[in-house]
Structure 1
Amino acid sequence: MTQARPKIVVLTAPGEGLPEGMNALEGIAELQVAEDAESLRATLPGARVLCVTDFRTEALAEAWPAADALEWIHATSAGVDALLIPEVRESDIPVTNARGIFDRCIAEYVLGQIIAFCKDFAGNWRLKQSHQWQHRETEPVAGRSVLVVGAGSIGRQIARFCGAIGMSPDGVGRRARPGDDDFGAIYAQADLISVLPDYDFVVIAAPLTADTEGLFGEAEFQAMHPGARLINIGRGPIVNTDALVDALRDGAIDGAALDVFEQEPLPPEHPLWDLPNAHISSHMAGDFIGWKTALSQQFIDNFERWRNGETLNNTVDKAHGFVPSA
């Protein structure tokens, strides 16, 4: 069992302060907030737990020499790529993440984008803006095929939602394996380009790792059929943005719904903003009302397990960058 009031450092984005709900630990732990490399370096000495709420942070590498007592690192995000610096990968310090918190809302977002494409909601909006009454036929959603790249908990929830409305979901994982109740088939990532032509929708739900960075580029977009749409709720650098812009402009694919980008925020002058076949949101697909409190509670629940010497939930495989499926 750990000391009575272990020190927890919470690394946030500048100006965010202590996350909602985290004050429940006051009196149980010593809480200190850092928001950049300098403040993290000042607060890390003696800290046994580091909770990171800023998934874009680059502060850990610079401040790492000050980490003299860390026993556990937690990320309040599904992706942990920013935390897996070489020193963390090579250490015995466990890393956990927010697996499970965002699954349903991200799946709702994906399903909403699929319906928006099939029912041409963007076209309705453009016609409304110009006061035009134009009757059109739209596509059925049932019967469409969807390939979910990333067969983890988020990918599985997406597959369940798609299957529930009559779509045919398959998956892509690190290796091929038999299909199951959620996926009709699960292909190996190495076979991605050979199966892409068969799908109406391709959804990226994979974490950012060395294996997935730049996974979608010119060759992959050329392999997709011209009527296909891409949806990315994983991480921006999985997609080569320039290649995607070319594919959308040239008609290699019909459309894209993007919640994540190589550069965030997306610069106002970026060509994606003006492409009519690109749906854009601001890295918010999973952020439901109350999500910050839910993340804090998940951390607090795991903190109690840590204090009691129990196995932590959502332990990341640091070699691969995600929590392995059961």
Structure 2
Amino acid sequence: MPTADAKIVVLTAPGEGLPEGMEALKKEAEVHLAEDGSTLRNAIPGAAVLCVTDFRTDALSEAWAAADNLQWIHATSAGVDALLIPPVRESDIPVTNARGVFDLCIAEYVLGQVISFCKDFAGNLRLQQAQQWVHRETEPVAGRTVLVVGAGSIGRQIGRLCKAVGMAVDGVGRRARSGDDEFGAIYAQADLLSILPDYDFVVIAAPLTPQTEGLFGQAEFKAMHPSARLINIGRGPIVQTTALVAALENGEIDGAALDVFEQEPLPADHPLWGFENVHISAHMAGDFFGWRKALSEQFIENFHRWQAGDPLQNVVDKAQGFIGTN
């Protein structure tokens, strides 16, 4: 049962320090900071709550044997793949995530990339830098078709914004569903290859799970229309990078906007940097001014629920790797 003097461990990336806003918890609980497997192993004995801000961490595996009192694990990210190690999956310890904090800003990023492709903002910038006046025609945004792979809260917000500017939006989930408010249709992931040719933009908004890892490879890129663009704001390993590079080189797709990668940071000598039709950002699609404080506030609100014995918000289905939908 929750206790008034609960011990909380906050696991961050090395050198990050306690997240903004977390200091407030020191008045209510015993708060410890860890930044790798060694410091986590030393801090976690007796801890009831683990809050993880480093979505790439593998520290939990190293320290798990010392976790003797864990009652709740929280991730300050939408993806929880790094935390779902076998002993966590098999335990009755609830895992929660940051669903809702990043949804709108990620959707704005996606819509911005769609508009940038259609209006060739990158081409305008190149011509401006070369001081060249070149009149061109560009694509309309309204009427373009969008397939959002991942029909969770982020995918649904993407659907809302794209529909608002006149785009036709469908989704892909684990299974087909009808009568949806945000998507014209929701197709099953198993049908992905057959529907990919119909879309101008394919947006990956799915979590990384065993079912989505490597989902986009050679066959999927060959199935996409040659004028289509890929936008990935989900997780890098959902896309097979070698296959993506080949598809771009062979003209199988017309471009990509990538915020996530199999290897992060993306190496300076990686071929993706060299494509004029590839837009690259540093895993920042949802990071708005004040996002760290917003994540702390969300965790603290959930901590108060946990202290009071109320149901936690944003509980992840550990078997699926994300928050399920009815």
TM over 0.5, shorter chain: yes
Q: Is residue 224 from structure 1 mapped to residue 249 from structure 2 by the alignment?
A: no
Aligned residues: 326
Distance 1:27 1:125 in 2: 51
Displacement of 1:128 in angstroms is 1.1
Q: Which runs of 5+ in 1 are unaligned?
A: none
Which structure 2 residues correspond to residues 272-287 of structure 1 after superposition, within 5 A? 272-287=272-287
| TM-score, reference length from structure 1 | 0.99
Which residue does 2:90 correspond to in 1? 90
Aligned match of 1:173: 173
Deviation string, structure 1 residues 240-287 (Cα, Å, up to 9, x no partner): 001001111111000000000000000000000111110000000000
1:314-325 aligned within 5 A: 314-325=314-325
Q: Distance in 2 between matches of 1:300 and 1:128?
A: 47
Aligned pair 1:48/2:45, yes or no? no
Structure 2: stretches of 5+ with no match in the other structure: none
Q: Which amino acid aligns with 2:274?
A: D
CA contact (8 A) 1:75 1:98 kept: yes
Equivalent AA in structure 2 for residue 134 of structure 1: V
- Measured after TM superposition, the shift of residue 52 of structure 1 is 0.1
Q: Is the Cα–Cα contact under 8 Å of residues 153 and 325 in structure 1 kept in the other structure?
A: no
Deviation at 1:179, TM superposition (A): 3.8
Q: Distance in 2 between matches of 1:4 and 1:204?
A: 42
Q: Which is worse superposed, 120-129 or 210-219? A: 120-129
Contact preservation (8 Å) 1:5, 1:27: no
When the two chains are superposed, the root-mean-square deviation of aligned CA atoms in Å is 0.6
Instruction: After TM superposition, give the deviation of residue 152 of structure 1 in Å.
Output: 0.1
AA partner of residue 97 (structure 1): N
Structure 2 residue 74 is matched with structure 1 residue 101: no
Q: What amino acid is the match of 1:309?
A: G
* Corresponding residue for residue 78 of structure 2: 78
Correspondence 1:139 to 2:139: yes
Paired amino acid for 2:65 = P
Distance 1:138 1:114 in 2: 12
The whole-number CA distance in structure 2 between the counterparts of 1:263 and 1:4 is 41
Q: Give the Cα separation in 2 of the matches to 1:193 and 1:179.
A: 23
Which residue in 2 is equivalent to 1:204? Answer: 204
Identity of aligned residues (%): 76
2:20 paired residue number: 20
- 1:270 aligned to 2:270? yes
Deviations 1:290-321 (A, max 9, x none): 00000000000000000011100000000010
1:130 Cα shift? 1.1
